[in-house]
Amino acid sequence: MRRLPKREIICGLDEAGRGALAGPIVVAGVVLPSEFSFKKVFPKGIVRDSKELSKKQREALFEVIEKYSSKIIVEVISVREINKNGINWANTEGFRRIIEKVEAGQYIIDGRWHLPDLKEKNTKTKCVIKGDTKIPTVLSAGIVAKIKRDEIMKKLHRKYPQYHWDTNTGHGTKYHLQAIQKYGTCKYHKKQFVKTALSNFLWKNQ
C-alpha cells in the first residue's frame, strides 16, 4: 500500500447496526488513495450504498476496497455499552475512537451527528448527509461496517439460532419479533429498541 502525505489523507467513516434490535454497532474508517476511482478499478461493478446492494455485490465491492485502501479500521461498540450509555453515544463513540487512532488531513462522517470534542481534530472533521452516496471513502466505510457486522451476527446466530440472525442480522423482522415473543430476549438484544419494536408489533397485530 502506498503511503500518502498527511494532507492528502481523507478518512471516511460510517456505521452499521444502529437500527437493529440485536447485535453491536460496527463503525468503520477507510482511507483510499487521493486518485482512487471506482470507475477506473471496478468499471463493471455496482457501486452503491451498502443497504442497496445484495450480499454478493457487497462482497465484490469489499474485495476492491480491501485491495486499494491505504487503511481500514473497525470499532465494535457492544450491546452492553449501548444498553448502558445509549445509541447516540455508541455511534459517536465509535467515530471518536477511529478519529483518535487515524492520522488524516480530513475526516468525513456519513450523516448528521453531534460529535464529542475531538480537540485539534475538530476542524478537520465534518458530517455529510448521504455521504455514503457521494464520497468514495465514506461509501467504502459503510460497506466495510456492514460486512464486518454481518460476520459478527452470523457467529452470534450459532449461539442463538432461534432468532435467525444469520438472515435478519438482528433487525426487527416479523420472525425475529415472533421469536422474541416465544423465547424472550438474550444479552445481545438492545433493551429499549426491543421494548419499542415489540409494543408496535403487538399493537399492529392485535
* Integer Cα distance of 3 and 151 in angstroms: 29
- The pLDDT, as a whole number, for residue 134 is 86
Could you tell me which residues are beta bridge partners of residue 108? 12, 126
User: pLDDT tens across 72-90, in order?
Assistant: 999 999 999 999 999 999 9
Average pLDDT over residues 129-148: 93
Per the model's pLDDT, the better-predicted residue between 74 and 134 turns out to be 74
For 6-204, CATH number out of 3.30.413.10, 3.30.40.10, 3.30.420.10, 1.10.600.10 equals: 3.30.420.10
* Integer Cα distance of 158 and 31 in angstroms: 33
Q: Is 162 helix (H, G, I), strand (E, B) or coil?
A: helix
pLDDT-based confidence at residue 112 (cuts at 50, 70, 90): very high
pLDDT-based confidence at residue 206 (cuts at 50, 70, 90): low
With 0.85 as the threshold, say if the pTM is over it. Answer: yes
pLDDT-based confidence at residue 1 (cuts at 50, 70, 90): very low
Out of 3-12, 50-59, 141-150, 181-190, pick the least confident.
3-12
Average pLDDT over residues 36-58: 81
Out of 18-22, 53-57, 145-149, pick the least confident.
53-57
Whole-number average pLDDT of the chain: 90
H/E element, 135: none
pLDDT-based confidence at residue 41 (cuts at 50, 70, 90): confident
pLDDT-based confidence at residue 202 (cuts at 50, 70, 90): low
Residue with cell 445509541: 87
What are the start-end ranges of the H helices in the chain? 38-41, 55-68, 79-85, 87-101, 136-159, 165-168, 174-183, 191-204
Domain boundaries in the chain?
Answer: 6-204
- The pLDDT, as a whole number, for residue 2 is 44
Per the model's pLDDT, the better-predicted residue between 35 and 160 turns out to be 160
H/E element, 127: strand 125-128
Average pLDDT over residues 32-38: 86
